[in-house]
Amino acid sequence: MEKKKVKISISRLLIVSNCAIMAVFFGITFYFTTNSYQKVLEQEFRANQHQMLAYISDAIGETMDSIELLARSTANSYTIIHSITNYQKQKNSYNQLVFQNNMNQNLSAVAYSLNDIVSANILMDDPQLRTTKVNGAYDYGGYAEGSWAEEIRKMPSGWISARENDLLVPSYTEKIITYVQRIYSDLYYGEPLGHLVINLDEEMFYEVIHSYVDTGGSTILVAGEDGSIFSSTDRSVVGMRLAETEYGRYRQILEEGRGQSGEMEGMLVTEAAVDGKGLFIMAVTDYRKALAPIAGTRKAVSVFSLAMLGFFSVFSGLLAYVIAKPILLLSREVKKYKGNGWNHKIRQDSHIYEIDILGEAFNHMADKIEALISSLLEQEKEKQKQELEILQAQINPHFLYNTLEAINWMALSMKQKEISRMVILLGTFLRLSLNKGKNVYTVKDELHHLQCYLDIQNIRCRGKIEFYSEIDPDMMECRMIKLLLQPLVENSILHGFDRNGGAGRIWLKADRREGFLFFSVRDDGCGMEAAQIGRICDLHTEEGHGLKNVIKRIALYYGEGCGLTIHSLPGEGTTVEIKIADAPSGQISKEE
């Protein structure tokens, strides 16, 4: 039993489908809008973080470069090197007093060149060195309370991380950062004389960081490769090791991911290196706090989407009714064609342009169908008439063959063997040319037809035409369209041999390979210019009708990949090559 199909009216279908489409559309729009907005905010926030760290990195790098440049120029100062060497040659209390005064003057000039320099000192191996000046020369062991002063002995140059100010000379700075530069007797080489030590207020680094920190609640840390924290917006961790603080585990995210940013427990971690300084800057930001503005936006988009969904549902219902009504009326008009034939015309004014176009197009189609039916009837009558004419036309070749046979007997009776032979050749030539109205025969028939033509021409030219052939025996039974080779040979005789009194040689080569039949006709005639070849191959010119006919028929029957090419030079003859398909195409089969 055939299952009954469920049908629904177009108006209901439009209303239901439009409402469903609107709901899906606004749902997807809401989802992707909010998510896209969040992703945009995230990308923008990440980009801002990287840009902020890049600015801080550049600013700190420039600050450190200026300190290093100041230290190198001071350590390589002739005055300081000369004062140290003179003092080391003769150490006594007077020379120490002179030496300390000289050092105080030079080092004070260095310290006063930048507000954030706490002190500038020279450290030497001399327990006798004593001074009450902030900027003066000290022994390594009597410089500070901590052990870091002893570590300076091993350093050629470099930075020492932030720490509590433990200098023996009192100052009002809580935390200091130190840069060390070794002093040599001959500028950059020679005997080590001591170290230049420039102590900086850690607040200098903090001010650089603080000037670039945005309002996103990020914590910025500047740390060395060993994990020591130089400076930070979180003042409680300055001078500590990164691993000793809560920020150490955030650092592991970057080390494990081998990237410049990562996330952990809702915290975004970003890092940038200070080029050439062995420092890195790390920003740790509460991701949820940074992206809090999106919550309000999500709520606003939700309310707007629901409002638009309700509006478009009502609008789609009204629109479905307006569209469905004229379509139903049009379908009723179309049904009337069942009994009234194609003379019935749709008359409808729906006030909808597309519906009216459908009605007009249907009327136009009905007119075309009616005209086509009339045309088919006329063509059928014309076909019957042509078939009758073809049957009548078949009488004419028989009359021609009978006439040629009568001429042959008359020539034989008059002992004119040459005339008789020409008549026989002509009869064979015509039979092969007509081929009972078919356009296709074998390669063997084409070669036989060509030989008849050459024999007729040799009778006319007294045997002046020499013909040589090299034919692949396997291709004799292959099918091909007729009259392809004879026009080429005729062209050689009529146009190539005219300067030689009709005498010349023709070579024919035919072979079968790769699914194609190849024919080559070469003569030793007068040849032709490239321009003439172009005119012959141009189907829009009047020159070379015979060759144009061959080109057109090959294109018509065999299509792309097959054709005719001409190679010729003046005075050296002409070669014409033909390439056709081995197996006959569907069109060839129809012609057969």
Query: Which letter does DSSP use for residue 187 in this model?
Result: B
Inter-residue contact 177 to 206 (CB < 8 Å): no
> Which range (101-105, 232-236, 249-253, 479-483) has the least confidence?
249-253
Note whether residue 48 is domain-resident. Answer: no
Same domain, 374 and 483: no
Classify residue 42: in a domain, yes or no: no
Q: Are residues 104 and 192 in the same domain?
A: yes
pTM: 0.47
Beta-strand runs (E) in 489-553: 504-513, 516-523
Same domain, 111 and 195: yes
What is the per-residue pLDDT for 587?
44
Output the CA–CA distances (angstroms, integers) from residue 311 to 13, 307, 315, 322, in the order listed: 19, 6, 6, 17
DSSP labels for 210-262?
A: HHH--SS--EEEEEETTSBEEEESSGGGTTSBGGGSTTHHHHHHHHHHTSSEE
Q: Are residues 501 and 387 in the same domain?
A: no
Q: Which of 346, 378, 393 corresponds to the end of one domain? A: 393
Phi and psi (nearest 5°) for 141? -80, -20
Count of domains forming the chain: 3
Would 279 be classed as within a structural domain?
yes
Mean pLDDT calculated for residue range 488-492: 86
Quick check: 56 pLDDT over 80? yes
Are 213 and 88 in a shared domain? yes
On the question of pLDDT at 23 being above 70, the answer is yes
Q: How far apart are CA 72 and CA 70, in angstroms?
A: 6
pLDDT at position 576 is 93
Contact 173, 201 (CB under 8 A): yes
For residue 250, what pLDDT band results from cuts at 50, 70 and 90?
confident
Q: What pLDDT, on a 0 to 100 scale, did the predictor assign at position 577? A: 94
Higher pLDDT, 589 or 98: 98
Of 288, 310, 328, the position where a domain reaches its end is: 288
Q: Domain boundary residue among 231, 263, 288?
A: 288
Q: Is residue 449 domain-resident? A: no
Q: d(Cα 55, Cα 180) in Å, to the nearest integer?
A: 26
Q: What is the pLDDT of residues 262-304, one digit of tens each?
A: 555 567 788 888 888 888 888 888 766 666 666 666 677 677 7
- Whether residues 209 and 96 share a domain: the answer is yes
Residues 373 and 257 in one domain: no
374 with 476, same domain: the answer is: no
Res 382: pLDDT: 67
* CATH code, domain carrying 185: 3.30.450.20
Q: What are phi and psi of 471, to 5 degrees?
A: -115, 135
Q: Are residues 521 and 377 in the same domain?
A: no
For the cut 90, the answer to whether the pLDDT of residue 518 exceeds it is yes
Q: Which residues pair with 579 in a beta bridge?
A: 518, 563
Place of tokens 């200026």: 66
Percent of the chain with pLDDT over 90: 10
Q: Are residues 84 and 155 in the same domain?
A: yes
- Domain containing residue 566: 465-591
Q: What gap in Å lies between CA 494 and CA 544, rounded to an integer? A: 12
State the Cα–Cα distance between residues 118 and 202, nearest whole angstrom. 10
pLDDT of residue 558: 87
Do 238 and 366 belong together in one domain? no
Do 250 and 155 share a structural domain?
yes
